[in-house]
A and B are shown apart, each in its own frame.
Chain A
């Protein structure tokens, strides 16, 4: 099977980006939007076709899913083994990601036709969306770690551009900067990790690096540093990059602020695709993470994931801006995926966590995108992000109501939704490996159900607010994606993911573990019930509960003051103490020195100006004097 056509998948959005970007002043919004949707539809079809071909026809040789290289070209050559390539790598997880990215991006493209209608920078918006999609494709299909890094930064740039889309709004600009700086800081770790890894391994290539029978995993390489092997350090640093992109504690502070971007952008980038890049990175390099030093780094991954899941879920319960609740919810769910990867084994059924993580990535992408798009639909109707401005909307927005409910049920792990199946696998994997992490996961499941239904009831039930004009259902361009995503918030639960995706690339059978499933469902229902009691009707129960929690509530409401801590460290310590002394040296010594040199240059320029008198006699004199001087000098010297 020849997969070389897959190169078109990233190239089409790139072309759309260039076309719409260059001509953005010339195209009408309608044409720009249609080009975007058309391009994405094509790549979605290509992705689905590739997935079909791969999973059902040619992917499996014997029992093992193979890796295909669709296209590859050497970009920069350092040595015979160390070279940076650009190419398309096809294996189960990259194809799954292609499908996710394509589909969500297509939904967002369609949805934005309605949501962004009449915005001044409509064409710019579509150009950036295409740029993002191109970058995300490039990241997903990377054949080597360096290509991944390049596109990793490109998604960062496009995320920056889209968060700052409303660039006349100071908070949006600040949020864009924050997101960029925090993730860039994390990417520094990623880059150093890549450099260490490639220096010792002598290659960037994923296939060579990840080969479980390869020299790197079997023999290990490099020495040790501070009690850990160099490779372990490299993997920790690379995970730092992943943690930054995936908003893991303590590098999560940018994600809530990133909600300043248009809501469809939040759905695409900050819920479904880019923020799971960290999970994808660990999954992509899973053999290394698993085999090096007996999975030491995976332990870190698991605990960071579990802690973030819990931490974010607690904060989510206290926030009043629906997009922020969803942002923290995203962090929490990505924490789940990290947790699942962290507790995963490698062979066959032991790799349950790996499969569960990818499974949850898939289902989460669908229902979280739906939640965001639903929230966007609500925001579109009431022109506010705050829950206090919403209420009783089920009468006005039936489609949004139903689809949002489906998504909320799915994320809460309600039986027969896709979230139920994927969350169950994660909890089962955790239960087998580490009971502590299992209980954390279970508790988070309860919290998730609570805060999701807290916002659901506040928005769609309760009393009407004083709406300036009656809210109405969103146009078809927005509701159709909602409906499609609602279907996909349920249906994927019935796919046997373990047939397709596993750590060692062989199929295994994953059963539903009934005792665990029932425990999880009951926990979820308790959460929903509490939310029902608190928020179904206006009452003073929430306030009483808030008072009861006292300081903890205040802490959680202020996101545990992590932002303030960062500000203290950067402003007070780094800027005032460290930078100030450097700044003095720079200004007084270096700047003044340079200015002195500059002035001296200009002065000497002035002095010699007289030489150019404009008289030919002078010129001729200089000419002859010059020649004679040279002659005399060399005659004398000889």
Chain B
């Protein structure tokens, strides 16, 4: 092991460094300069993100194969970093005004960074132990974050529901892993892929493992926690859960299904098929009736996860390309929408669709960003979401899943209805008591602008897709 080997973990190391720096900063700064600490931390995180783009770690694995990295993984990590950065920028105002007086601002960063470190290890993991530890590391701090508005009953409820669900899910996953270990005596992905044979025990293991991971992606019927937790948590935590954590989990799910369980395609493909249909329908039908925007976006994100399964079902490079691309698109789209909800909720405390009536007249820019995000989520051309969904559908159709694609199109249509409901409220409805005009702080502006830019650039600048396409075959090593 030399330094260069360690640098394969550059993202994780940098994050740990930043986390420690925040810890020290929290101790040595006075209460008055806590606000500055927030600024410095966000800028620090921006630097970490930037370094991730500038220095690509070399492809390979360390710790005997427990940790591996390549360009695709790095791309995803960078994407997640950008997402987290946007979330941090969008939460800056809330942190400064609500959390600094409660003396909890630095903890927020530490918990968030711990979770991000967990996610980074998770998508880099090369064996089940590593994977499991990383999974826990990524989930547990979020449970604390979910209950961060401790004085709100709902927030506390969100925290407790998340931790209970997570325990159940990771218990189940561990149960599944232990079956697989029992059958093969191996924990490394590579070894297990070679040793696994179809038997009742291993099928049991696969399904339990899948169920545990499905919790993180919130696939039906493992999604019930989503609505309550999303609604109760602070909005930035909600967007973290729905975007960052979900994106990473989908990726590692795809990786493990493609590689470790490649002999089991006859099992997991029909399984995903059924789960995808259930997920899309349940997510959409619930979203249809929601009035609270956080809850609404929660269910819409459940439905979106169903769409992602279409790409995984492809089982090949094309599938990997479409999933990774969609995850990136989805990230920016959702962050755009969540960012606006965050801005409005922070300034006015309003979160219901009815409150948004006439928003365009008072806050045209916010409405436009929201519209862009929702259009992208709904998959309306020419914004990025359209291409994202289009490639997912192509990937599924390429393997002959025409009925599934048809069902997905029906669901995309249903989703269009409720996304447009919000847009109608903002643009067409007139309200006696609209949300008054307000100004956002610089970080919020930057956060919203980067989300909007991401949607536009991903959709209109095709070399990005081509880049994803060129490195997607790395999913198989």
Contacts and interface: CB of A to CB of B under 8 A. Distances in A.
Nearest to B295: A612
Given A601-B414, A619-B165, A623-B221, A608 B286 contact: yes
Contacts of B286: 605, 608-609, 612
Contacts of B228: 614
Contacts of A638: 198, 200, 203, 267
Nearest to B227: A612
A635 B211 contact: no
B204 A635 contact: yes
A623 B215 CA distance: 9
A627 B208 contact: yes
A631 B267 CA distance: 10
A611 B210 CA distance: 22
B225 A619 contact: yes
A630 interface: yes
Nearest to A608: B285
Contact of B203 (A601, A602, A604, A634): A634
Contacts of B211: 623, 626-627, 630
Interface string B203-228: 11001101100010000111011011
Nearest to B414: A601
Contact of A635 (B203, B222, B414): B203
A618 to B, nearest CB: 7
B161 interface: yes
A604 B286 CA distance: 10
A358 to B, nearest CB: 40
A184 to B, nearest CB: 23
Contacts of A605: 285-286, 288-289
B207 A631 contact: yes
Contacts of B168: 620, 623-624
Contacts of B289: 602, 605-606, 609
A625 interface: yes
A561 interface: no
Contacts of A625: 221
A408 B92 CA distance: 71
Contacts of A624: 168, 172
Contact of B221 (A601, A622, A635): A622
A567 to B, nearest CB: 33
A616 interface: yes
B195 interface: no
B169 interface: yes
A612 to B, nearest CB: 6
Contacts of B200: 635, 638
A635 B199 CA distance: 9
Contacts of B225: 616, 619
Contacts of A612: 224, 227, 286
B292 to A, nearest CB: 13
Contacts of A627: 172, 207-208, 211, 222
A631 B288 contact: no
Contacts of A630: 207, 210-211, 271
Contacts of A602: 288-289
B271 A604 contact: no
B282 interface: yes
A618 B168 CA distance: 13
Nearest to A619: B224
B138 to A, nearest CB: 19
A616 B289 CA distance: 21
Contacts of A598: 417
B21 interface: no
A631 B227 CA distance: 26
Given A605-B288, A623-B215, A638-B198, A616 B164 contact: yes
Nearest to B219: A626
Contacts of A611: 224
Contacts of A620: 164-165, 168
Contact of A634 (B164, B169, B172, B271): B271
Interface in A79-106: none
Given A609-B289, A619-B165, A626 B203 contact: no
Contacts of A606: 289
B216 to A, nearest CB: 13
Nearest to B268: A634
B207 A623 contact: no
A601 B221 CA distance: 20
A609 B198 CA distance: 38
Nearest to A638: B203
A598 B221 CA distance: 24
A374 B289 CA distance: 63
Contacts of A601: 285, 288, 414
A618 B223 CA distance: 12
Contacts of A634: 203, 207, 267, 270-271
Interface in B129-175: 160-161, 164-165, 168-169, 172
A116 to B, nearest CB: 28
Contacts of A604: 285
Contact of B169 (A618, A622, A623): A623
A608 B302 CA distance: 15
A608 to B, nearest CB: 6
Interface in B282-312: 282, 285-286, 288-289
Interface centre among A598, A604, A618, A638 (most CB of B within 10 A): A638
A614 B172 CA distance: 22
A626 B221 CA distance: 6
A606 B288 CA distance: 9
Contacts of A608: 282, 285-286
Contacts of B215: 623
Nearest to A598: B417
B209 to A, nearest CB: 10
Nearest to B172: A627
A612 B302 CA distance: 14
A622 to B, nearest CB: 5
Interface string B183-208: 00000000000000010100110011
B223 to A, nearest CB: 9
Nearest to A614: B228
A631 B208 contact: yes
Interface string B226-246: 011000000000000000000
B207 A618 contact: no
Contacts of A614: 228
Nearest to A618: B224
B221 A631 contact: no
Contacts of B221: 622-623, 625-626
Nearest to B228: A614
A566 to B, nearest CB: 35
A129 to B, nearest CB: 26
A598 to B, nearest CB: 8
Contacts of B203: 631, 634-635, 638
A634 to B, nearest CB: 5
A15 to B, nearest CB: 21
Contacts of A626: 211, 220-222
Contacts of B160: 616
A625 B224 CA distance: 13
B334 to A, nearest CB: 21
Contacts of B164: 616, 620
A604 B207 CA distance: 29
9 contacts: A598-B417, A601-B414, A605-B288, A609-B289, A612-B286, A627-B172, A630-B211, A634-B271, A635-B203
Interface of A: 598, 601-602, 604-606, 608-609, 611-612, 614, 616, 618-620, 622-627, 630-631, 634-635, 638
Ordered nearest first, which 3 A-B pairs have the shortest CB separation? A626-B221, A619-B224, A627-B211
Given A623-B221, A627-B172, 8 more contacts: A612-B286, A616-B165, A616-B225, A619-B224, A623-B169, A623-B224, A626-B221, A634-B271
Interface of B: 160-161, 164-165, 168-169, 172, 198, 200, 203-204, 207-208, 210-211, 215, 220-222, 224-225, 227-228, 267, 270-271, 282, 285-286, 288-289, 414, 417
